[in-house]
Amino acid sequence: MMYSAAARLTPEDLYDAARMAFMEMALSGITTVGEFHYLHNQADGSPYDDPNLLAKQVVRAAREVGLRIALLRVAYARAGYQVAANPRQSRFIEATPDLYLTNVEKLRTDLTSMSGEAWVGVAPHSVRAVALDHVKAVVEYGNQANLPVHMHVAEQPAEVSACIAEHGRSPVALLESEGLLSDRFTGVHVIHITAKAARMIAAAQAMVCACPTTERNLGDGVVPIDLLLAENINVSLGTDSQTQIDLLEDARELEYHLRLQKMGRAVLSQPDDEDQSALAARLFACATINGARSLGIAREPLEAGSGADFFTLDLDDPSVAGATLDALLATVVFSLNKSAVRDVVVAGKQIVEDGRHFAQEEITTRFKALQQRLWS
């Protein structure tokens, strides 16, 4: 179904789908999105006259919804190690690093006027979809240009096995030995790793983006957040195209999935934690400031002259009503229903008021029409 949709989406369809996803994000309190974007070509695999047309549609959608966006332009070059080309992936593939980097450089130039609102990152998809020399060229460019670098890493056991077959090392060990991990690098998923791999990530000051509700949906496995936090690794959260968009749900699942796996409670609590608020603060950071760092945003205090990005909550919402001030953060992290989000402000502009986005009816109407065209 994914490939079927990918083959038929027009640029305007992609704009409508992206606006719906970004509006859902805004309604849940999100103010900035890092979009892992790899739909580049026309349906037959040939480039558009502007090879960044689809990326620009996604940026346009985010800005019209009111979100800041890091367009993480994905390098995708093959179906896998020793795997025949998959014609259903023709819209994803740019065969050479030179072609990819030329298009990235053009997109960066075209977004110059949107500084602070939209910017570019680079994203070699995975060791499965990009050969090592290609990965190295992309990461080296990102490092030289001081861009965010994102990459799927150790999402599934099959990916790890294929990487060992091709390179004799696991994905994290490969990236570490090739000098590709850095404080600009974010590994997405990072599920099937060892404690040694976690130490490699930490030593490079690299980051991890976990996507717990999607990883549960796909049966990928449980992010070893205990290993990552024990090494003081910056962990952020992503939706990864999941139909459920709720970062606080993702935050609490970091803890809850481990409870199921380890059959214990408060797995991520630390000996010096005085109460559950300390654990909640740790998870809340994953849903907020850690994501900002992963996307290359400097953390700023909420004061005159800084970017005013914030959201408000209805403290009478049944999911949090009655929480004392001392227990409020823990109640928000572990109990909040996203319908309690009432107002969202990005760069000082209110985009959600009293639980509704300013363009909600029009965005929803157009998305419903797109769904009818795609699936009926």
Question: Along the 376 residues of the chain, how does pLDDT read in single tens digits?
Answer: 889 989 999 999 999 999 999 999 999 999 999 999 999 999 999 999 999 999 999 999 999 999 999 999 999 999 999 999 999 999 999 999 999 999 999 999 999 999 889 999 999 999 999 999 999 999 999 999 999 999 999 999 999 999 999 999 999 999 999 999 999 999 999 999 999 999 999 999 999 999 999 999 999 999 999 999 999 999 999 998 777 899 999 999 999 999 999 999 999 999 888 887 999 999 999 999 999 999 999 776 777 877 789 999 999 999 999 999 999 999 999 999 999 999 999 999 999 999 999 999 999 999 999 999 998 8
d(CA 295, CA 316): 33
The pLDDT score that the predictor gives to residue 196 is 98
H/E stretch holding 365: helix 360-375
Give yes or no: 354 in active site. Answer: no
Q: How far apart are CA 9 and CA 157, in angstroms?
A: 31
Beta-carbon count within 10 A of 40 CB:
25
Distance CA 99, CA 298 (A): 31
- Residue-level pLDDT at 274: 83
How high is the pLDDT of residue 376? 82
Q: What is the pLDDT of residue 7?
A: 93
Output the CA angle 212-129-286, nearest 5 degrees.
25
3-state helix, strand, coil in the chain (%, to 5): 45, 15, 40
Predicted confidence at residue 46, as pLDDT, reads: 97
Has 49 been annotated as catalytic?
A: no
Consecutive H or E run containing 189: strand 185-189
CB 30 within 8 A of CB 247: yes
Active-site annotation holder among 226, 240, 246, 250: 240
At 284, which amino acid appears? F
Burial class (CB in 10 A: 0-12, 13-18, 19+), 166: middle
Strands 235-237 and 310-313: unpaired
Predicted pLDDT of residue 302: 74
The pLDDT of residue 307: 75
Rounded to whole angstroms, how far apart are CA atoms 135 and 123? 9
d(CA 137, CA 210) in angstroms, rounded, equals 25
Radius of gyration over alpha carbons of the chain, in Å? Answer: 20
Fold of 148-299: TIM Barrel (3.20.20)
Q: Which of 134, 189, 257, 357 is catalytic?
A: 189
Distances (CA, A) of 335 to 87, 227, 332, 355, 365: 45, 25, 6, 18, 31
Check residue 241 and give its pLDDT.
73
Structure confidence at residue 1 (pLDDT): 86
